[in-house]
Every structure is written in structure tokens, then in C-alpha cells.
Amino acid sequence: MKELEVLKKAALAGGKILAARFGKVGYRLKGRANLLTEADLASEKAVIGIIRRAFPADGFMAEESPLEETPNGRLWIIDPLDGTTNYAHGFPAASVSIGFSENGVIRAGGVCDPFRGELFLAAKGRGATVNGRRLRVSGAPSLSKSLLVTGFAYDRAERADFYCGFFSEFMRLSHDVRRMGSASLDLCWLAAGRTDGYWEFGLKPWDVAAGKLIAEEAGGRVTDFAGKPWAVNAAMGSQTLATNGRVHAQMLKVIRRRLGEAR
């Protein structure tokens, strides 16, 4: 699949930039807790450049650039630095995330973690890998035997009690809860069986597109909080629940109940 090969090349190029500039760049604010670094911009330029040379007629949805849609229905969904707050503070948990969508269906995805030297890849119907090794979600049978992961949206200061309510309940019901700060890595680690369930509010398409496919191709399930499949042209990640499949119904039940109580 040519798209996957180009995606791999672009993700590695972006990851190389992130690694080279780590600890050497400052940041500016796009919002109270929404950071932007020079590495974001340099990585995005390199990623888009590689893809555009291979597929000049395709469109782009990238975090730091205006949306470019084209009539052919092909769209590259790019986060050049997922985990910018971590990166800007010298915390080595960040990645390059690239998804390829055709007519609203994610066909290929890749996430490069330059700090652990891991490249996660997936093509629809062909499985998912990390550094060429096949991925499979965990076999955790229940929420009570799960390790979960989450993240908090940019309005976390204003809605801290709301988000922490979910965190608190899941912490009581599971083995524990982690918060890494990179949605694409959260999804990839779920695919690798390192965690069993992941939920987050307020994500964007570039946060989810690649990791969603990787998780699903590893045997996981990804939906919104109503249990509907995540789609590029729907909620676009504003509600994201990903699990090994076995704990999905249990997590949905908790989330729905807490949402109902919050109304």
C-alpha cells in the first residue's frame, strides 16, 4: 500500500525533527493551556511536504494549518506533535500522528514515538504493528482487572471537578488510571496491550484518526460515549472511548451514568 509507505516515511521524518529539537525550543500559547513550539511547525512542514510530493491532489487536515479539502475524497489527518505540553516541558511523551482517510474512512495510520524508538502502523483490514511486530489488545476480562488511561481537555481548569469525577470513579473500579498527555500514544499503548481502556473528552480528528485505526486493527473497539463508531465526519473525537473490547460495555455504563448525573 503506497499510502502506508509514504505515511511511514513522513512519520519518521517528523519524529526525527522532534528528537533533534527536544529540550531546545521554547513555546507560545494558543490558549491558557494550549502550547505551540517551533518543533510543531517544523514537523508539520516536513510531514506535509513528503505526502504532498507523493500525492499532490490530496487534501490535508493538520493541526497547525488551514484545512485543505479536495474533490477526490482523500484526506491526510496530521498532528505533527501530539503531546506539545509534555514536549515543551522536557517530558518525553510525545509523537507524530498521521491518518489517511478516503471518503470518510480511515484507511491507514501511523504514530511515531521518537523517544522510545517505536513506530506504530496499521492499514485497514491488514492488522497493526509496532516496529514490524504484530499488535494485539490485552485479554483483561473486566474493569476490575484493568489498567486505564485518560487525558483532560483544554478546558480542564474550568471543568476540573467534572473531569476528575470520571477519573475518581474509574480509579476506584480498576487497578489504576494513568495520564500520559498524548492521545495518539494512549491509543497505541492500548493496541499494544499495555492498557485496557481509554477515555477522553474534547479531542480533535488529528488526535484520534491514526490511533483509532491502530487500536481497531489490534482487535480493540473505539466509539463515542453513546457507543457509536468514531468517524471523521461525525463528532471528530470530542468523545472518545477505546478499549480491548471486553471492558467496553462496563466503561460505557460508568460514563453514561456520570454524564446523566452531571445534567
Domain boundaries defined on the chain: 2-134, 143-262
**What is the full per-residue pLDDT of the chain (263 aa) written as tens digits?**
899 999 999 999 999 999 999 987 776 666 565 667 888 899 999 999 999 999 999 999 998 888 898 999 999 999 999 999 999 999 999 999 999 999 999 999 999 999 999 999 999 999 999 999 999 999 999 999 999 999 998 877 788 989 999 999 999 999 999 999 999 999 999 999 999 999 999 999 999 999 999 999 999 999 999 999 887 765 455 899 999 999 999 999 999 999 887 76
Count CA atoms within 13 Å of residue 206 on its CB side.
Answer: 20
Q: Which CATH class is domain 2-134?
A: alpha beta
Query: CA 193, CA 127: separation in Å to the nearest integer?
Result: 14
Of 18, 6, 16, 109, residue with least CA distance to 50:
6
Q: Which CATH class is domain 143-262?
A: alpha beta
- DSSP class of residue 55? -
**pTM of the full predicted structure?**
0.94
Helices and strands, number each (H, E), in the chain? 7, 14
Q: Residues with Cβ < 8 Å from 125, sequence gap 6 or more?
A: 217
Pair 176, 197: CB distance under 8 Å: no
Three cell numbers written together for 5: 509507505
Question: Is 2-134's fold the same as 143-262's?
Answer: no
Three cell numbers written together for 186: 494512549
